[in-house]
Amino acid sequence: TKVENLPILGTVDWIFSNSESNIFYVIAIGDCKIRESIVKKLKNENIRFQTIIHPSVIKSESVEIGEGSIIQAGCILTVNIKIGKHVHINIKSTVGHDCIIKDFVTLNPGVHVNGDILIGKGSFVGSGAIMKDEIKIGEKSTIGAGTVLINDVPESSLVVGVPGKIKKRI
| Residues designated catalytic | 97
Long-range contacts of 104-112 (CB under 8 A, 24+ apart): 104/32, 104/35, 104/36, 104/39, 105/32, 106/30, 106/31, 106/32, 106/35, 108/30, 108/145, 109/72
Cα–Cα–Cα angle for 89, 35, 170, nearest 5°?
A: 90
Please check whether residue 99 is in contact with residue 117, taking contact to mean a CB–CB distance below 8 angstroms: yes
Neighbour count for residue 161 (Cβ, 10 Å): 13
Sign of CA dihedral 160, 166, 168, 170: positive
CA gap 91, 94 in Å, rounded: 9
